[in-house]
Amino acid sequence: MSGTGRPDEQRLQAPGMTVGIVATHWNAEFVEPMLERAVAAAERAGTQAPTVVHVAGAVELPVVAQELARTHDAVVALGAVVRGSTPHFDYVCQSVTHGLTEVALNSSTPVGNGVLTCDTQEQARERSGLPGSVEDKGREAAEAAIGSALVLRGLRGDGAGVRGHRAG
Residues annotated as catalytic are 88
Going by the annotation, the residues of the binding site for 5-amino-6-(D-ribitylamino)uracil are 26, 58-60, 80-82, 113
Q: Which of 41, 10, 46, 24 is nearest to 124 (CA)?
A: 24
Cβ atoms of residues 111 and 75 within 8 Å: yes
Going by the annotation, the residues of the binding site for (2S)-2-hydroxy-3-oxobutyl phosphate are 85-86, 127
Q: Which of 156, 66, 61 is nearest to 103 (CA)?
A: 66
Instruction: Report d(CA 18, CA 99) in Å as an integer.
Output: 21
Q: Angle 137-155/28-44 helices, nearest 10 degrees?
A: 40
Q: Which of 22, 11, 82 is nearest to 51 (CA)?
A: 22
Given its phi and psi angles, is residue 112 left (phi above 0), alpha (psi -120 to 50 degrees) or beta? beta
